[in-house]
């Protein structure tokens, strides 16, 4: 995770028709709740999706 540097990246920040897989679920929830922008491109976060490896 590029925010906490502890947990694996497992949350995609969706904005428009693109998204960035850059942080953990916990940090992504905090970013969304605080209305912070995407840490990669600074776009407004529309949704957060949890990613699972199959």
Integer CA distances (angstroms), 18 to 4, 6, 39, 48, 53, in order? 23, 25, 14, 12, 19
pLDDT number for residue 53? 87
Which superfamily does 11-50 belong to? Zinc/RING finger domain, C3HC4 (zinc finger) (3.30.40.10)
Long-range contacts for 24-33 (Cβ within 8 Å, ≥24 apart)?
Answer: 25/50, 27/1, 27/3, 30/3, 31/3
Compare 10 and 53 and report the one with higher pLDDT: 10
Q: Which of 37, 8, 42 is nearest to 25 (CA)?
A: 8
Q: What share of the chain is helix, strand, coil (3-state, %, to 5)?
A: 15, 30, 50
Q: Say what the pTM is.
A: 0.90
pLDDT digit string (tens) for 1-52?
999 999 999 999 999 999 999 999 999 999 999 999 999 999 999 999 999 9
């Amino acid at each position: 995770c590029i925010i906490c540097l502890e947990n694996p990246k497992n949350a995609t920040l969706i904005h428009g028709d693109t998204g960035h897989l850059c942080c953990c679920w916990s940090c992504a929830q905090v970013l969304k709740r605080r209305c912070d922008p995407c840490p990669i491109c600074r776009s407004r976060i529309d949704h957060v999706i949890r990613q699972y490896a199959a």
